[in-house]
């Protein structure tokens, strides 16, 4: 089941802020599914346009990748500032 994850993009990587307590906090996003027979790099999402912005992602986190990832929402500057403040990101 896909979960909604919230984070901020830093240096092209999704830095997870919610939910907290995961062993990995930095993720790369891929559109491929975990069970696909291709490497996750083949479907990697380019996050350049979201740099330094909060985003909400739907997908399955596993180690350093979020599989079946899709960006469901993006934060404007005010929302991004609030996410940074609330989660000390």
DSSP codes joined into one string, 6-58: EEEEETTEEEEEES---S--EEEEBSS-TT-SS-GGGGBPP-GGGBT-EEEEE
Query: For residue 16, how far is the Cα from the chain centroid?
Result: 6
What tokens does 29 get? 């996003």
The pTM is what? 0.90
**The two structure tokens encoding residue 52:** 């330094």
Output the pLDDT for position 23. 64
pLDDT of residue 3: 86
Kindly report, residue by residue over 32-67, the tens digit of the pLDDT. Answer: 999 999 999 999 999 999 999 999 999 999 889 999
């Amino acid at each position: 089941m896909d979960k909604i994850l919230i984070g901020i993009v830093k240096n092209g990587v999704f830095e997870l802020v919610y939910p907290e307590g995961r062993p990995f906090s930095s993720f790369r996003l891929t559109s491929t599914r975990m069970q696909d027979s291709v490497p996750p790099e083949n479907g990697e999402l380019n996050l350049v346009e979201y740099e330094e912005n909060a985003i909400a992602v739907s997908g399955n986190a596993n180690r350093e990748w979020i599989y079946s990832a899709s960006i469901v929402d993006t934060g404007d500057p005010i929302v991004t500032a609030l996410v940074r403040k609330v989660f000390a990101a």
